[in-house]
A = this chain, B = another copy of it.
Amino acid sequence: MRKIRIALIGYKGIGRMHSHGYRNVLTFFDLDAIPILKIICGRDRDSVCSARDKYGWEEWSTDWTEVVRRKDVDLVDVCTTNDLHCQISVAAAKAGKDVVCEKPLARNLGEVLEMVRAVQAARVRHMISFNYRFVPAVRLAKEIIEEGQIGEIHEWRARWLTELMDPTLPLSWFFQKDKAGYGASGDIGSHIIDLAQYLVGTVIEVASSSQILTHERPIEGGGGRMGRVDVDDAVQFLARFEHGAIGVFEASRCAGGYRDEFEIELNGSKGTLCFNSKILHELRYYSTMDDKRVRGFRTIFVGNEFHPYKESICPYGEIIGRSDVFIIQAYEILRALATGANLSPDFKDGARCQAVLEAVAASSISKKWEIPDYSQIDAKV
């Protein structure tokens, strides 16, 4: 049994979820590897020390530069704010570590390409945490598409809506371009861009429109002083895909009544698939091959023995929640590392998403259709 020793950089919301995944993966899945929660790292000494205890890590540190070089670490998982993704990932790669990094991969395409080059040069494995790819219902959708059950895909629609428009909400890092890179587009839009490229194909052109609604927010601990919001609150864009499909995307922080909810839908020549992120265990499926008299959208409960990741689901049809998705992600990471396989989705997938984000941002300014630039992603080192 190979032991995979993990270092986690970042301990807040998403770091907690990654911890949860590693810690519990063996409870649900059989693996030829054992995850060792070696060390957790963060800026604030008290918080990271407490996180170690709470999440079950062996050690803690406040110095990521040292952590990523440790001999007893095999995998570095980057869950920091976006502005540190590049630096840490590159350092980890240079130290010969396999790297997992949260999305979006970095603040801009330049950083992302640096990261791709670094992992390629170091010949380490790499992954971007587009964890919705691991939702069983999404995986089932992928199977159905690949088998041709919905035919050729003609249209895509996706929207990620959330309510963050209250102007008294503080100026968190994700409202700031130098820390986050993008606003709604990168934060929440990146997931649905990735799912589009995963399920439909490469986005070859976009036309977008974005807006900032709240231009100033109270600085955290700033005694009432205001700071500038310089990233988009909402973006809407059209896309064209490589095989001719057309698509529409929305990512908005101004949608009252939603708590980080997304819906995706694909219309093909033979059927339709829909998924809503707030009902993780369901896939809606319509097939023109059903008898016309009893044809209609099927609501599939994804959790039986014929479904992907059936191990993550209790035998009695118990539903999965958000944290379970990170257990499946941990399984995918460890399974690959145990067998020497590559990780997926990898930094190139992250870069392909980033190329779309750049084109979207450019189009909002140019008011033209923009072509995502994938040219350097697959370039040889």
In the complex the two chains form, is A257's CB within 8 Å of B272's CB? yes
User: Which of A70-78, A204-212, A216-224, A351-359 sits within the interface?
Assistant: A204-212
In the complex the two chains form, is A259's CB within 8 Å of B303's CB? yes
Secondary structure of the A side of the interface?
mixed
Inside 8 A of A270's CB, which chain B residues have their CB?
256
Inside 8 A of A297's CB, which chain B residues have their CB?
257, 298-299
Given A211-B244, A256-B267, A298-B296: A319 in contact with B317 (beta carbons within 8 A): no
Q: On chain A, which size bracket covers the interface?
A: 35 or more
A380 located at the interface, meaning its Cβ lies under 8 Å from any Cβ of chain B in the complex: no
Query: Which residue of chain B has its CB nearest to the CB of A156?
Result: B236
Contacting B at CB under 8 A, from A157-183, are: 157, 159, 161-162, 165-166
In the complex the two chains form, is B293's CB within 8 Å of A306's CB? yes
In the complex the two chains form, is A293's CB within 8 Å of B307's CB? yes
- Chain A 295-339 per-residue mask, 1 if CB under 8 angstroms from chain B, else 0: 111111101111100000011111111111000000000000000
A368 located at the interface, meaning its Cβ lies under 8 Å from any Cβ of chain B in the complex: yes
Partner of A157 from B20, B159, B247, B272 at Cβ < 8 Å: B159
In the complex the two chains form, is B257's CB within 8 Å of A286's CB? yes
Query: Which residue of chain B has its CB nearest to the CB of A213?
Result: B154
User: Which of A92-100, A274-282, A341-349 sits within the interface?
Assistant: A274-282
Partner of A55 from B27, B252, B272 at Cβ < 8 Å: B27
Query: Which residue of chain B has its CB nearest to the CB of A20?
Result: B27
Copies of this protein in the assembly total 4
A142 located at the interface, meaning its Cβ lies under 8 Å from any Cβ of chain B in the complex: no
Contacting B at CB under 8 A, from A233-256, are: 234, 236-238, 240, 244, 246-248, 250, 252, 254-256
In the complex the two chains form, is B298's CB within 8 Å of A294's CB? yes
| Cα A257 to Cα B296 with chains together (Å) | 6
Partner of A24 from B20, B162, B165 at Cβ < 8 Å: B20
Expressed in whole angstroms, the minimum distance between the Cβ of A192 and any Cβ of chain B is 13
| Cα A166 to Cα B165 with chains together (Å) | 38
A292 located at the interface, meaning its Cβ lies under 8 Å from any Cβ of chain B in the complex: yes
Instruction: Give the B-binding residues of A (Cβ under 8 A).
Output: 13, 16-17, 19-20, 23-24, 26-27, 53-56, 140, 144, 149-150, 154-155, 157, 159, 161-162, 165-166, 207-211, 213, 234, 236-238, 240, 244, 246-248, 250, 252, 254-261, 267-272, 278-281, 285-288, 290, 292-301, 303-307, 314-324, 367-369
Task: Give me 19 A-to-B residue pairs in the complex whose CB atoms sit less than 8 angstroms apart, sorted by A's number.
Answer: A23-B24, A27-B55, A149-B294, A150-B256, A155-B236, A155-B250, A162-B316, A209-B246, A213-B269, A234-B246, A256-B267, A256-B271, A257-B272, A257-B286, A259-B303, A292-B304, A297-B298, A297-B299, A319-B322
